[in-house]
Amino acid sequence: KKERTLAMIKPDAVTKVGDIIQMIYDANLIVTKAKMTKLTWKQAADFYTEHQSKSFFNNLVQFVSSGPVIAMELMGDEAVSTWRKVLGPTDSGVAQKDAANSLRGQFGTDGTKNAGHGSDSLASAARELEFFFPSTTGHGPSNTA
């Protein structure tokens, strides 16, 4: 089934964008929107609101707002699960052992500095795509894609 998902390259892997886009195409996904931006602490906290009660929330928000990120809309067959498979296990240490060719296996450092993010469901994808690529109308050329 053709799906859309939100991919985010985190600050630790922005310099690897070339390799990462190659991995996206190798997985039979295409990039249909892209934006490089720097999130404020508040924006990052909003993005990760479902994790606000977790012990790692502050580290996560601090890290993701520490430098630029690249957000992309990816499209393709089973895009949500396909992209998460490209990412590999959340913990980069596990990824390095069990999925060395994955994005986190190659570019991640630990559980927080883990190079990339992918929506975990179609519902999350809808919310996260709206976060980075709001579907407002009447605002001219930048929102007509």
**Distance between CA atoms of 97 and 52, rounded to whole angstroms?**
29
* Residue 58 or 143 having the CB closest to ligand CMP: 58
Check 10, 84, 104, 117 and give the catalytic one.
Answer: 117
Query: Where do contacts with ligand CMP occur on this chain (CB under 6 A)?
Result: 51, 56, 60, 90, 111-112, 114, 117
* Residue 78 or 93 having the CB closest to ligand CMP: 93
Give me the least distance between CB of 141 and ligand CMP, in Å please: 31
**Percent helix, strand and coil across the chain, each rounded to 5?**
50, 20, 35
**Distance between CA atoms of 16 and 20, rounded to whole angstroms?**
6
Task: Please indicate whether residue 51 is annotated as part of the active site.
Answer: no
Q: In the structure encoding, which two tokens stand for residue 94, read together? A: 């596990």
Distance of CA 4 to the CA centre of its chain: 12
* Residue 3 or 128 having the CB closest to ligand CMP: 128
User: Hey, which residues are catalytic here?
Assistant: 117
